[in-house]
């Protein structure tokens, strides 16, 4: 039966492409989504699904109840865009100046709607319930996942699956990783208040540039000398600002950066070490130093059992695809919060294709993907349902209650 479902998905590919391109032309920023969730809700209602609007804010959740008893499995797609120009030369280029779908969330959304359409016509073949979670505001922190969970989107859900199109890998590649796959992403802003003066008279000042420079070097030692080498951690200073004139010692300086970790204990330790490093530098330099540390998305942990079994199903049922191992990396994704509540996995699908100039990385103004990746996502989503018996190769029998 799964192969016939795959065929149905392929047959309505042109409609899914049309939806994706419509979303691509009308992108909406995180927490500002209005048209997109309305489009999603109307589409799901048109398929006969039970739909909840405004979940956690701008989220949409659809429920498809099969005609047979079984588990409740959630599938999630995100739909927010990025604050950047779309510089592609394509007919479906963004019509919103300074906003574009440069990460592939339009692809995720259209792919999940395609799955909903196929399954909505096969309720008599389904055992259990499929929950279609369409999430707003993935690109920012706090994102939409925590708010949607707090609003009940995971109630009675037994497992959840999410997907991301991936520009580093070619179409036809499907990537899985068990365990920690994406990092917790925290940020810090450190303000150094010194005492300015003439560059020729440094002894009359408290130089914030020197203090900030010492701070940057000290931060690097936190990871290299306090973290177990077998536990990954990255501390990156991406912004250092102070002064303007070459012969003036300024009053203040600011240092901003990001911390990426997997282990929660390491995450908290680094925050404490940054604070203590700042306090020690205050004593040493005489400057006033304040630290504003923000915990962002949690680390994403793919549950081994669900990940391994889905990978086996992909290898067995998608023989023309290249199913492979994906190494963990330090990017962040708020799908992590769903996986803290219920088991599941977050997989990746290649979208790179040189023939159509889909070669640029995520968050690039010319980002684009091969739209065949949407069918790939949809098929793996269906296999995830098969993984829990919602879709089965065996004939269902009505159970009299």
Per-residue pLDDT tens digits for 329-379: 999 999 999 999 999 999 999 999 999 999 999 999 999 999 999 999 999
* Nearest alpha-carbon partner for 347 in 318, 149, 355: 318
Annotated catalytic residue within 28, 78, 138, 370: 138
Question: Within a 10 A sphere around the Cβ of 395, how many other Cβ atoms?
Answer: 7
Domains of the chain with bracketed CATH: 2-182+299-387 (3.40.630.10), 184-294 (3.30.70.360)
- Length reported for the chain: 401
What does the pLDDT look like over 367-377, one tens digit per residue? 999 999 999 99
Q: What is the pLDDT of residue 394?
A: 64
Kindly state the percentage of the chain with pLDDT values over 90. 97
How far is the C-alpha of 117 from the C-alpha of 101, rounded, in Å?
23
80: annotated active-site residue: yes
Report the C-alpha gap between 73 and 260 in whole angstroms.
30
* pLDDT of amino acid 392: 83
CA distance 332 to 338: 14
List pLDDT tens digits, range 295-330: 999 999 999 999 999 999 999 999 999 999 999 999
Report the distance separating Cα 115 and Cα 71, nearest Å.
Answer: 18
Q: Is the pLDDT of residue 399 over 60?
A: no
Identify the band that residue 400 occupies on the pLDDT scale cut at 50, 70 and 90.
Answer: very low
pLDDT, tens digit, for every residue of 56-114? Answer: 999 999 999 999 999 999 999 999 999 999 999 999 999 999 999 999 999 999 999 99
For the stretch 225-250, pLDDT in tens is: 999 999 999 999 999 999 999 999 99
Per the residue annotation, which of 33, 78, 80, 334 is the catalytic one? 80
pLDDT at 1: 85
Mean pLDDT of the chain: 96
DSSP 247-267: TEE-SEEEEEEEEEESSHHHH
* pLDDT given for residue 398 in this prediction: 42
**248-249 and 197-198: which strand pairing?**
antiparallel
């Amino acid at each position: 039966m799964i192969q016939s479902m795959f065929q149905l998905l392929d047959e309505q590919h042109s409609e899914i492409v049309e939806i994706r391109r419509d979303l691509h032309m009308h992108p909406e920023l995180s927490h500002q989504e209005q048209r997109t969730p309305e489009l999603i809700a109307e589409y799901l209602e048109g398929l006969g699904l039970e739909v909840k609007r405004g979940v956690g804010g701008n989220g949409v959740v659809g429920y498809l109840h099969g005609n047979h008893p079984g588990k409740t499995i959630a599938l999630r797609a995100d739909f927010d865009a990025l604050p950047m120009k779309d510089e592609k030369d394509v007919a479906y280029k963004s019509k919103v100046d300074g906003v574009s779908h440069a990460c592939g969330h339009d692809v995720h959304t259209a792919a999940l709607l395609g799955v909903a359409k196929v399954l909505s016509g096969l309720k008599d073949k389904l055992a259990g319930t499929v929950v279609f979670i369409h999430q707003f505001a993935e690109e920012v922190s706090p994102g939409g996942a925590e708010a949607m969970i707090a609003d009940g989107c995971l109630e009675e859900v037994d497992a959840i699956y999410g997907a991301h199109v991936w520009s580093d890998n070619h179409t036809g590649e499907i990537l899985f990783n068990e365990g920690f796959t994406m990092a917790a992403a925290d940020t810090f802003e450190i303000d150094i208040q010194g005492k300015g003066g003439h560059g020729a008279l440094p002894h009359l000042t408290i130089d914030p540039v020197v203090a900030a420079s010492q701070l940057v070097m000290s931060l690097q030692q936190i990871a290299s000398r306090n973290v177990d080498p077998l536990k990954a951690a990255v501390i990156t200073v991406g912004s250092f600002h102070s002064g303007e004139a070459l012969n003036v010692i300024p009053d203040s300086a600011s240092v901003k950066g990001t911390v990426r970790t997997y282990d929660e204990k390491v995450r908290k330790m680094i925050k404490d070490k940054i604070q203590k490093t700042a306090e020690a530098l205050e004593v040493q330099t005489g400057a006033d130093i304040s630290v504003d540390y923000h915990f962002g998305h949690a680390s994403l942990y793919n549950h081994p059992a669900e990940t391994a079994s889905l990978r086996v199903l992909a290898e067995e049922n998608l023989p023309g695809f290249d199913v492979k191992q994906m190494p963990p990396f330090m990017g962040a994704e708020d799908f992590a919060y769903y996986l803290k509540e219920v088991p599941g996995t977050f997989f990746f699908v290649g979208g790179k294709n040189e023939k159509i100039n889909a070669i640029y990385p995520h968050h690039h103004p010319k980002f684009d993907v091969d739209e065949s990746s949407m069918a790939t996502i949809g098929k793996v989503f269906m296999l995830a349902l098969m993984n829990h018996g919602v879709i089965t190769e065996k004939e269902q029998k009505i159970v009299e209650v």
